[in-house]
Amino acid sequence: MKTFVILLSHTEKETNRVAVEHHVAYLKALDDKGLLVLAGPFTDVPGGMVVIKADHEEEAIQIALTDPFISQGFRTFEIRTLEVANQHNNYLL
């Protein structure tokens, strides 16, 4: 599996409590499937990030499109592929 970053950007549509609850429920479902690496809002700029595992970019895009924040028009998104550097791969050296 590859690691993908879903960058969430604000749109003109204001979020509400119900939208946030649906988004969080979606994140929990991804986590239960072992696909969620981490997620959260940025503290210094608008938007947030969801890091997921997927077999290919098309799957990552489908996961993003299914997020209630995206599907209900509260956020737009960009997909980025992340090459993870850690002790298991000698930090890509």
Domains and CATH numbers, the chain: 2-92 (3.30.70.1060)
d(CA 77, CA 89): 29
pTM (predicted TM-score): 0.92
What is the predicted pLDDT for the residue at 68? 97
Residues 70-85: pLDDT tens digits?
A: 999 999 999 999 999 9
Q: What is the pLDDT along the chain (93 residues), one digit of tens a residue?
A: 899 999 999 888 889 999 999 999 999 999 999 999 999 999 999 899 999 999 999 999 999 999 999 999 999 999 999 999 999 999 999
d(CA 69, CA 36): 16
What is the predicted pLDDT for the residue at 12? 80
DSSP H or E stretch at residue 61: helix 57-66
Q: Could you tell me if residue 32 is left (phi over 0), alpha (psi between -120 and 50 degrees) or otherwise beta?
A: alpha
Could you tell me the two tokens for 30? 């991804």
